[in-house]
Amino acid sequence: MSDDIEWRVTPGLSPYAETLAEMEARAAAIRAGEAREMIWLLEHPPLYTAGTSAVAEELLTPDRFPVFDTGRGGRYTYHGPGQRVGYVLLDLDKRGRDVRAFVGGIEAWLIATLGDFGIAARSEPGRVGIWTGAGADEAKIGAIGVRLRRWVSFHGFAINVDPDLSHFAGIVPCGLPEFAVTSMAKLGAGGDISALDMALGRHFPVLLNALESGEKQLRPSA
């Protein structure tokens, strides 16, 4: 892990509205040079969030859990206990301004992390997120939704460690009704969020290296 990036792990369940406000304030402070970049790991109580591409018809049970509009990309997603949410606040102005490398780097980071638990995860062209299995067993285990403001990133990812998967039935997750949702526990990899956090820390250089590689590709040749 990079020493100049703060890693924050918040225990318990973090209320969404207050968390969002703090995240946005931190992003502004990073842009102003008043705070370090940060990776923030936490859990939320059961709730649904609507991204900028959300379609009302994909919120199947609007009265089941609180619903929050959010400025991240994507459609509807679920957050709840047993799901590790990671908010990624990085200054892409100094890391290459390459959004594709950033999203691809998050995907590669999560794939490497899940590999530590024997899960063969992957990305899929045309589908943002992290996937496992094939054919009838194909399912989504991780969601990614990011936003940039003045080249500082916020929002991030969610990995299903051991959430109540029935809670996803209240939405069409990420607008993909044909795919199931799975978790580390369902795949036999256990439900230890602290072990996942340690693996995320070990593999974080994968994201930084992706940004560095993208920045090099953008630099003019000498």
**CATH number, domain containing residue 86:** 3.30.930.10
Question: SS3 breakdown of the chain: % helix, strand, coil, rounded to 5?
Answer: 35, 30, 35
Say what the pLDDT of residue 173 is: 80
Instruction: Tell the residue number behind the tokens 């290459």, with chain if given.
Output: 96
Say what the pLDDT of residue 7 is: 98
Q: State the Cα torsion 214-206-121-170 to the nearest 10°.
A: -80
CA distance 106 to 103: 5
Q: Nearest CA to 1 among 33, 28, 37? A: 37
Give one DSSP letter per residue of 5-55, joined into a string: EEEEEEEEE--HHHHHHHHHHHHHHHHTTSS-EEEEEEE--SEEEE-TT--
Q: Is residue 221 part of a domain?
A: no
| Tokens found for residue 147 | 């936003």
Say what the pLDDT of residue 220 is: 40
Say what the pLDDT of residue 221 is: 38
For residue 85, the enclosing domain spans 5-214
Mean pLDDT, consecutive 10-residue stretches, the chain (222 aa), reads 85 97 97 98 96 91 93 89 98 96 97 98 91 92 94 97 96 80 96 97 97 63 36
Binding residues: 72-79, 143-145, 156-158
CA distance 170 to 28: 33
Tell me the residue ranges of DSSP E strands in the chain. Answer: 5-13, 37-43, 47-50, 67-69, 76-79, 83-89, 122-124, 127-132, 139-149, 152-160, 180-181
Identify whether 181 is a catalytic site residue: no
| Tokens found for residue 74 | 């994507």
Binding residues for substrate: 72-79, 143-145, 156-158
Q: Is residue 94 part of a domain?
A: yes
Instruction: Tell the residue number behind the tokens 């691809």, with chain if given.
Output: 104
Q: Is residue 116 part of a domain?
A: yes
Amino acid identity of residue 191, one-letter, is: G
Say what the pLDDT of residue 222 is: 35
What is the count of structural domains for the chain?
1
Q: Is residue 125 part of a domain?
A: yes
Show the CA angle centred on residue 27, arms to residues 21 and 33, nearest 5°: 135
Q: Is residue 92 part of a domain?
A: yes
| Tokens found for residue 216 | 């090099």
Q: Is residue 109 part of a domain?
A: yes
Say what the pLDDT of residue 219 is: 41
Q: Is residue 24 part of a domain?
A: yes
| Tokens found for residue 92 | 């892409």
Q: Which of 42, 92, 174, 207 is catalytic?
A: 174
Coil, strand or helix at 91 = strand
Q: Is residue 222 part of a domain?
A: no
